[in-house]
Structure 1
Amino acid sequence: MPLQELKKFEPDTPCPIRDVLDRIGDQWSVLVLLTLRPGTRRFNELMREIGDISKQMLSRTLKRLEQDGFITRTVYPEVPPRVEYSLTELGHSFLEPMRALVAWADQNHHAIAEARERYRGGN
């Protein structure tokens, strides 16, 4: 989107690019979305598959993703309650461009790591 287009927004309306990237650009959101790509998961399944995320952080991340419409949370009236998380259509549509970014990062990570090392060596 050209810069002129972004400037047309009201001052109290956030820039759409910044608004979305601030929400999904954190350390955990993309990992949660990618983990849900194959299908529905329960909280503990997400914890196991993601690995090094705390329960509190996973809970916060799931709430934000649900609030923004990327995932749905389904509570089943059982004892104990069963809660499942799934991607919405919006969540699935987000993964399409994200796949390209993940592939780019995978392909270029070595070059970036080398550049960082050269930078550290020169400073």
Structure 2
Amino acid sequence: MKVRKSKGMRSKTMRLLHEAPQSAAPTHGSDQVPAAAPVKLVVTPATDPAVTRKSAGAGDLERVDANNRIPSWNPFDRSCLSRDLFDTIGDKWAMLILLSIQDGPLRNGEIKEKVQGISPKVLTQRLGVLVEDGLVTRTSHHQIPPRVDYELTELGESVIEPLQSVYEWTVSHMDEVMDFRRKTRKSQTRAS
């Protein structure tokens, strides 16, 4: 059976499951063959793992989908919620904020000094997202004047190594990138 995938099904696979027939025996005194088992069409995500509700850990139960399966995370899939975290980690301001507090807690103003060019509004927004995603903690000290510190969580510390690698790659390859940019601009100028 050939199944034509519609636009909404591109990220899904089709799978046929055969259910056992209700009654496998022929009817009383007849030569009739029992009806073929009904075929149930089930659509499951292509990245659906073999982990079910029974094998899930206690913390995984809230991730169970409508098919009692735990979804795997795939940022390439446009409907995958992991894209939100991918966006957060890939955002230049979030990356710089995380790298700025890797050596210890900082106040909002101290982060703003380290991450030059970030507006107060964007800093507040990005810190809020990082706190919400559990990468940064926000500690409010009850003193006068009020003081709020931002610090990496254990989860936030785990992303520092890959971010540091991106940072180091950027710094070490920027001269090459600038050469390519100049060449591209020259060729575009000649073409126009």
Q: TM-score range by the shorter chain?
A: 0.7 to 0.9
**Aligned partner of 1:22 among 87, 92, 96:** 87
For structure 2, the residue ranges without an aligned partner over 5 or more in a row are 1-44, 49-70, 72-76
Residue 66 of structure 2 corresponds to none
1:70 aligns with 2:109: no
Residue 3 of structure 1 corresponds to none
Query: Which structure has the highest helix share of the two?
Result: 1
- Tell which structure's C-alpha radius of gyration is larger: 2
Aligned counterparts of 1:90 and 1:46: Cα–Cα separation in 2: 19
Contact 2:99–2:163 (8 Å) recurs in 1: no
The count of residues paired between Structure 1 and Structure 2 equals 119
**Aligned partner of 2:171 among 102, 106, 116:** 106
Residue 80 of structure 1 corresponds to 145
**Aligned partner of 2:161 among 75, 96, 117:** 96
Contact 2:101–2:151 (8 Å) recurs in 1: yes
**Deviation larger for 94-103 or 57-66:** 94-103
TM-score, structure 1 normalization: 0.84
For structure 1, the residue ranges without an aligned partner over 5 or more in a row are 1-5
Q: State the superposition RMSD in angstroms.
A: 2.4
Aligned counterparts of 1:79 and 1:43: Cα–Cα separation in 2: 16
The alpha-carbon deviation at position 81 of structure 1 amounts to 2.0
The alpha-carbon deviation at position 119 of structure 1 amounts to 0.9
